[in-house]
Amino acid sequence: MNGVPRRRSTLPGFGLTMGLTLTWLSVIILIPLAGLFLKTFDLSLEQFWGIVTSRRTLNALRISFGLSFLAACVNLVMGMVVVWALVRYRFPGRRLFDAIVDIPFALPTAVAGVALTQLFAQKGWLGAPLAELGIKVAFTPVGIFIAMVFIGIPFVVRTVQPVLLDLDVEIEEAAASLGANRWHTVFRVILPSLIPAMLTGFALAFARAVGEYGSVIFIAGNLPNVSEIAPLLIVIRLSEFRYADATAIAVVMLLAAFIIIFAVNRLQRWAQTRIPAH
């Protein structure tokens, strides 16, 4: 080979920036996470299994995953209502409400936690009337559910909104010209093309709720086996210096998170093949 060039790309800095990126990523993210997995090897398989399947851990996981699922379902339905109203209708304050959707993203979780607790406490603005109806929210699993709904609001709205905005009006006109009534058009033509985005939003809201800590612990009551979420149990085990226990629960939650990321990635790829971007 003669004259094989020394440089392979026009823009400079690939080696340097890639090297720095990988180094920084390793130091901050990969090595610490690897340390977590390494730590579990301190435990035998039976020990690990014993921790994960102990009554308190199982209940905490059940509460975290179960309530997160319920909250994500509510977020899916209400998110669709909100996104439909924001995209399809004109009403006073629409742009303000559009901005408001992001507040759960922006508000620090501890602030959300104390605010929701205050609101739903027995003497709170909403807690008092609900108490009269015999519904107790704060310091019960219902409170956890409420907090999870709060932090999950933006996900479905923000994933579906751009897709719905991009949807061609001609599709609806075509459906109408083919004799579909509005009901058919919405449920057979529009909603099916939103499904990938809806599922993605659902998965993101679910994942966020499972890992959520700050906004939940104030309102939860934190009664073991009843209203104790998995992240709180990790913190409790840490404060008891039972690092192995904390690590085992963390690994289970991390694996669940990875599965969700994987599912979301697949969903997005599926959406791209089904509805090619224009």
Partner 1 sequence: MSEPQALTFTPRDNIHTEPRVIRFVIVALAVLFLLIFVVLPLIVVFASAFSRGLSAYFAALTEPEALSAIRLTLLIAAISVSLNLVFGVIAAWAIAKFEFAGKTFLVTLIDLPFSVSPVISGLVFVLLFGAQGFFGPWLQAHDIRVLFAVPGIALATIFVTFPFVARALIPLMQEQGTQEEEAAISLGASGLQTFFRVTLPNIKWGLLYGVLLCNARAMGEFGAVSVVSGHIRGETNTMPLLVEILYNEYQFVSSFAIASLLAMLALITLVVKTILERRLDEGQVPSDD
Partner 2 sequence: MTIEVRNIVKKFGSFAALDNVDLKVGDGELLALLGPSGSGKTTLLRIIAGLDWPDSGEVFFDGENALDHGASERHVGFVFQHYALFRHMTVFENVAFGLRVQPRGVRKSEDAIRARVKELLDLVQLDWLADRYPSQLSGGQRQRIALARALAIEPRILLLDEPFGALDAKVRKELRQWLRSLHQEIHVTSIFVTHDQEEALEVANRVVVMDKGRIEQIGTPGDVYDNPATAFVHGFIGESIVLPVEVRDGAVKLGGRKLDIVANGAAPGAANLFVRRHDMQIGPAGSGSLEGSVQHVRTFGPIQRAEVALCGSEGKTVIEIDAPRDRELRTGETIGLQPRRYRIFAAPE
Q: Summarize as ranges the residues that interact with partner 2 (CB under 8 A).
A: 1-10, 12
Residue closer to partner 1 by CB (options 2, 99) is: 99
Judge contact between 245 and 237, C-beta under 8 A: yes
104 binds, among partner 2, partner 1, none (CB under 5 to 8 A by kind): partner 1
- Half-sphere exposure for 227 (CA within 13 Å, toward CB): 19
Which residues within the stretch 192-211 sit at the binding site for partner 1 (CB under 8 A)?
207, 210-211
41 binds, among partner 1, partner 2, none (CB under 5 to 8 A by kind): none
Which residues within the stretch 235-264 sit at the binding site for partner 1 (CB under 8 A)?
235, 238, 241, 243, 246-247, 250, 253-254, 257-258, 260-261
Q: Does 169 participate in binding partner 1 (rule CB under 8 A)?
A: yes
Which residues within the stretch 62-121 sit at the binding site for partner 1 (CB under 8 A)?
78, 81-82, 84-89, 91, 93, 97-104, 106-119
2 binds, among partner 2, partner 1, none (CB under 5 to 8 A by kind): partner 2
278 binds, among partner 1, partner 2, none (CB under 5 to 8 A by kind): none
Amino acid symbol at 168: D
Residue closer to partner 2 by CB (options 2, 181) is: 2
Picking from 53, 51, 41, 44, the residue whose alpha carbon sits closest to that of residue 242 is 51
- CA 235 remoteness from chain centre: 20
265 binds, among partner 2, partner 1, none (CB under 5 to 8 A by kind): partner 1
7 binds, among partner 2, partner 1, none (CB under 5 to 8 A by kind): partner 2
Judge contact between 172 and 190, C-beta under 8 A: yes
Residue closer to partner 1 by CB (options 74, 275) is: 74
What's the rounded Cα separation, in Å, for the pair 227 and 230? 10
Picking from 184, 265, 247, 233, the residue whose alpha carbon sits closest to that of residue 64 is 233
3 binds, among partner 1, partner 2, none (CB under 5 to 8 A by kind): partner 2
Residue closer to partner 2 by CB (options 13, 108) is: 13
Residue closer to partner 1 by CB (options 45, 183) is: 183
What's the rounded Cα separation, in Å, for the pair 159 and 72? 14
Q: Which contiguous run of DSSP H or E holds residue 154?
A: helix 141-166
What minimum distance in Å lies between the beta carbon of 2 and partner 1?
A: 26
Picking from 195, 203, 1, 243, the residue whose alpha carbon sits closest to that of residue 80 is 195
What's the rounded Cα separation, in Å, for the pair 261 and 203? 8
- Longest distance between any two alpha carbons in the chain, whole Å: 88
Q: Which contiguous run of DSSP H or E holds residue 173?
A: helix 169-177
Contact string 30-69 vs partner 1 (x = CB under 8 A): xxxx-xx-xx------------------------------
